[in-house]
Structure 1
Amino acid sequence: MHFLSRDPRLLLATDLDGTFLAGDIASREQLYHLISVHSNLQVAWITGRSREDTKDLLADPTLPPPTYLICDVGATVFGVSDMQPIEPLQSQIDASWPGESVVDHALKRFSSLTRQKESQERRCSYYCSPEQFRAIRGDFECVVNMLGCEFLYSADRYLDVLPKNTCKGSTLSALVNMLGIAPKRVLVAGNTLNDLSMYNRGYPGVCVGASEQALLEETASMHLVLHANAPGCGGILEAIEHFNWFNWNFDFAHE
C-alpha cells in the first residue's frame, strides 16, 4: 500500500486492547512505522484503562506515542506531552461525577458485582456475567439514574458506571471539536461494545477483525463503518486503504 498525506489534520482515534495493541507482528510494525514517519498524523488512545494503567505503554519504545489520551471509558482526557488534563473538557466531566465513594456505596446492594481491582478515575467498574446482569438490570438502572450517572455493559463481562453523558464517543467528539479537526480527517477504531459511541459521530471508522458480535450488529447499517477482516492493526490498515483516508480530496458521497 502507498500512502500520501497532504492534509495537516489527521487523527487516528483508537482503542488499545484488541485493537491498536493487537494483530500480527507485520501489521503492527507497518502501522506503527506509518505513524512514526508521518508528521501530519496524530494519535489518540481511547481506552477503558486508567491513566495509571497506560504508563508502561507510554514508556514502550516500540509504540509510537499518542498525542492525546482518553482513559476510563471517556471519563479522563489529557495531553501526553505534559500529562495534564485538557481543559475545559476534564472539568465538565468532573462536574457530572458524584464521587467514587458515593457510587460504590450505593451499588454495594448488588452483591453479585465484583469490583475491578485496576485503578479507576471518575468511574466505578465491575465484573458481571450476562446472567447476573439480566437479573439486576432493572434495579441497577434505577440506582444509577438516581446517582445522576449512566452505565455501560460490554464484552459480556465489563460493567462501567460513568458520569452522566460521558463515554468514549462524547469525549472524543468534544476533543475533535476543540481542535477544529474536520470529521472526515478522524478515523476511529475499536473492537468491543464500549467503542460503539465513537461510530455515530460522523467519522469514518473500523471494527477490526474478531470484534465483539454485539458491536458488529450495532454498526452493521452504518455506511461509514468498515468491518475489517484482519484483527488489530491489520484492520486499521484495511480501513486506511478502504477510505483512502490519506487523500486530502477524499469526501463521502452520502454526506
Structure 2
Amino acid sequence: MKFLIISDLDNTWIGDDAATIALQQTLKEKRDRFYLVYATGRSFCSVAREMRNFWLLTGEPLLTPDYLITGVGSEIYHQGILDYHWATQISQQWDRNGVVQVTQKFPQLLPQIEPEQNPWKVSFCLHPNTKPAILNTVHEQILQLGISAKIIFSSGRDIDILPQTTDKGIAAMYLREKLQIPLNQTLVCGDSGNDLSLYQHGTRGVIVNNAQNELAQWYSQSGTANHYFAKSSYAWGILEAIDYFNLGTT
C-alpha cells in the first residue's frame, strides 16, 4: 500500500538545502511507494519559480509532486492542470468582490502582489503597527454580507481570506480521499500558522523544530499522539518523522 506525504514548502521541505537533498535521496529509493503533495501558500507560478531556483542553486531538482495545493488550499493542480471540481466545490457562498469591498475599508491591510491573488483567495500583509484583532472586525463585516469566508493569519503578518469550505487541511483531505490512503499512512508536515489545519484531520503529522510560535503553541496545547514535534529543523524533521511513524513499512 502506498503512503502519502503532504508538506508545506517554505521552511519545511525547503529552507536547508542539505536537509532537502538528504530527504529526497532517502525518498527516491521508494518513489513508487508514495504520493507527494506540496501544500503551500504560494501561487502555482511561484512554486514553479521556486522549484527552478532550487535546481539552479543546488544542482538538484526538487521531487516532482503528484499534486500541488497552492494558495493556502484555494487551488489544487495535477500535472499543471487546475482541479475544476475542487474550484466548483469551494465556490459555494463565496463572493470575492464582496470580500474586496469590505477590505478596502481597512488601510491597515496591505494587498499582496497580484500574482499571489486568485479567484478564491484575497491576500494581504498586516501593517506592522496594527494589532491582529482588527481581523475579527473584518471577518464580521464579511459575514454580514452573507459571504461564507475564513481568515487565516500566519507568520505575524500574512493574511489570507478564503472560502469557508477550504484551507490546506480540507484540500489535503480531499486528495487523501481521492487517492484512498488511510489516515495512518498519511504524513502532513509544516512550520507555520497556515499549516495548522493540516493537523486537524486525524492523520500523522510532524511539526519541524524551526516552527513558528503559533504552531508550536498549538502543538503544546492541542497536539495528540498522532503529532510529532521534531528534534530537527526543516527537512531533517520530516526524515525524523518518517522513521518515527514507520511510514512505508506496511
- Give the TM-score normalised by the residue count of structure 1: 0.86
Cα gap change, 1:227 to 1:131, in 2 (>3 Å): farther
Amino acid across the alignment from 2:233: P
CA root-mean-square deviation: 1.8
Q: 1:96 to 1:174 in 2, by over 3 A?
A: farther
What amino acid is the match of 1:112? Q
Quote the offset at 1:165 in angstroms.
Answer: 2.2
1:55 aligns with 2:22: no
Moved over 6 A (4+): none
Please, which runs of 5 or more residues in structure 2 have no aligned partner?
A: none
Q: Which moved more, 1:62-71 or 1:104-113?
A: 104-113
**Aligned equivalent of 1:216:** 216
- Give the SS at the match of 2:216: helix
Pairing 1:17-56 to 2, within 5 Å after superposition:
17-23=10-16, 25=18, 27-38=19-30, 39-56=32-49
Distance 1:242 1:129, change over 3 A: farther
Q: Structure 2-normalised TM-score?
A: 0.88
* Structure 1 pair 195–107 and aligned structure 2 pair: CA distance change class (3 A): same
Equivalent pair of 1:144/1:151 in contact (CA under 8 Å): no
| 1:1-255 aligned within 5 A | 7=1, 9-23=2-16, 25=18, 27-38=19-30, 39-59=32-52, 60=55, 62-80=61-79, 83-99=80-96, 101-117=97-113, 118-121=115-118, 122-129=120-127, 132-146=130-144, 147-220=147-220, 221-248=223-250
Shift of 1:22: 2.0
Name the aligned partner's letter for residue 77 of structure 2: F
> More displaced, 70-79 or 239-248?
239-248
Separation in structure 2 between the aligned mates of residue 54 and residue 94 of structure 1, nearest angstrom: 23
Q: Deviations over 1:204-237 (max 9, x none)?
A: 1111011011211212232211111211110000
Assess if the C-alpha contact under 8 Å between 1:78 and 1:85 holds in 2: yes
Identical-residue share of aligned pairs (%): 27
1:137 to 1:239, Cα distance in 2 relative to 1, 3 A: same
CA distance change for structure 1 residues 200 and 138 in 2, over 3 Å: closer, same or farther? closer
After superposition, the C-alpha distances for 1:145-199 in whole angstroms (9 at most, x for unaligned) are 2332111111111111001121100111111112211111111000001101011
Q: Secondary structure at the match of 1:187?
A: strand
Gaps of 5+ in 1: 1-6, 249-255
Shift, 1:71, TM fit: 0.4
